[in-house]
Homo-oligomer: A and B are copies of this chain.
């Protein structure tokens, strides 16, 4: 009998994964405006599934991003569940002040690894954004609030194409040195593949940023999202963002899929024997709620197919 390959490889999988739910912010940001009451209801339903990290709001200009208006009202409206971290994205010091006033549990700040993307996105150079991230971080830490620094376009840029991994790692190191409590890497437009994941993790390791210290934020724009998660899992990454129902996408690429789908991720991980702490049936109910809230079909697979459908309706699809 040959050596049992799976035992070698499955032993590399972590016992537990922490999922950061980003639907209420990253997801809804790119949808038509959803009323505050519905956002509150969705966040409260998500916090009851077992998810422990929820990106709830962003404190940005309502003129720039209308669907995110009412962030303070959302934070005031939700029922804070003990043990759950409610996070807010902020673009600047003013946003951080509002987030702290709303008593968020964690602040997120984004810098793009692509100079072009950063300028188009926030009209600042990467260097200026890193300085601003440092100011934010000091402010948050003075209020005893942790900060996650997110490097976007970490696996490629829609304007510049491939982004050198050493550049991504250097920006992450600068954010860490500026006080970020954790760094995260965003596959902003879904260019990542297992090769890109391996290579970035290698370079991060070389600058002392270990897999078990980071979060990864994959999109499923080209269908590779869960393959990328699997790659990172095998390298010791245990924190991943995902979006309920696959909420999100990009207003400039109609129909393109955005974040990986929380319920698809939970289905895969739980079947792999990796604990998520999340109740899949409750999660599917949340995905239905999200679908109703935005009034369009979401790209979730498990929402359509169900977690498993044996004893079910009878499928006659061969092979």
User: A177 an interface residue at 8 Å Cβ cutoff?
Assistant: no
When the two chains form their complex, are residues A319 and B186 in contact, meaning their CB atoms are under 8 A apart? Answer: yes
For the complex, what is the distance from the CA of A191 to the CA of B319, rounded to whole Å? 13
| 5 examples of A-B residue contacts, CB within 8 angstroms | A1-B205, A110-B318, A156-B310, A230-B231, A252-B315
Chain B positions within 8 Å of A186 at CB level: 318-319
When the two chains form their complex, are residues B6 and A199 in contact, meaning their CB atoms are under 8 A apart? Answer: yes
**A252's contact among B1, B160, B304, B313, by CB below 8 Å, is which?**
B313
Cβ-closest chain B residue relative to A221:
B305
Chain B positions within 8 Å of A261 at CB level: 223
User: A296 an interface residue at 8 Å Cβ cutoff?
Assistant: no
User: A308 an interface residue at 8 Å Cβ cutoff?
Assistant: yes
Other than the given A194-B272, A222-B305, 4 more pairs (CB < 8 A) read A151-B319, A195-B272, A253-B304, A255-B304
When the two chains form their complex, are residues B5 and A201 in contact, meaning their CB atoms are under 8 A apart? Answer: yes
Measured as residues with beta carbon below 8 angstroms from the partner, the interface class of chain A is 35 or more
Stretch from A42-50, A78-86, A263-271 that touches the partner = A263-271
**A6's contact among B151, B198, B301, B309, by CB below 8 Å, is which?**
B198
For the complex, what is the distance from the CA of A316 to the CA of B250, rounded to whole Å? 7
When the two chains form their complex, are residues B297 and A255 in contact, meaning their CB atoms are under 8 A apart? Answer: yes
Q: How far is the CB of A2 from chain B (nearest CB, A)?
A: 4
What mask results when residues 257 to 279 of chain A are scored 1 for a CB within 8 Å of chain B, else 0? 11001001001100111000000
Chain B positions within 8 Å of A191 at CB level: 308
Within 8 A of B (CB), among A201-241: 201-202, 205-206, 217, 220-227, 229-231, 234-235
User: A112 an interface residue at 8 Å Cβ cutoff?
Assistant: yes
When the two chains form their complex, are residues B157 and A310 in contact, meaning their CB atoms are under 8 A apart? Answer: yes
What mask results when residues 1 to 43 of chain A are scored 1 for a CB within 8 Å of chain B, else 0? 1101111011000000000000000100010000000000000
For the complex, what is the distance from the CA of A252 to the CA of B267, rounded to whole Å? 21
Chain B positions within 8 Å of A264 at CB level: 222-224
- Output the residue of A226, A258, A297, A307 with the most chain B CB within 10 A: A226
**A10's contact among B26, B195, B311, by CB below 8 Å, is which?**
B195
For the complex, what is the distance from the CA of A264 to the CA of B256, rounded to whole Å? 13
**8 A-B pairs with the lowest CB-CB distances in the bound complex, closest first:** A6-B198, A223-B264, A186-B319, A152-B319, A223-B301, A250-B317, A193-B271, A161-B310
When the two chains form their complex, are residues A121 and B316 in contact, meaning their CB atoms are under 8 A apart? Answer: yes
**A309's contact among B117, B120, B189, B311, by CB below 8 Å, is which?**
B189
For the complex, what is the distance from the CA of A308 to the CA of B160, rounded to whole Å? 11
User: A251 an interface residue at 8 Å Cβ cutoff?
Assistant: yes
Chain B positions within 8 Å of A253 at CB level: 304-305, 309, 313, 315
Chain B positions within 8 Å of A317 at CB level: 30, 188-189, 249-252, 258
Within 8 A of B (CB), among A272-304: 272-273, 297, 300-302, 304
What mask results when residues 147 to 177 of chain A are scored 1 for a CB within 8 Å of chain B, else 0? 0001110001111110000000000000000
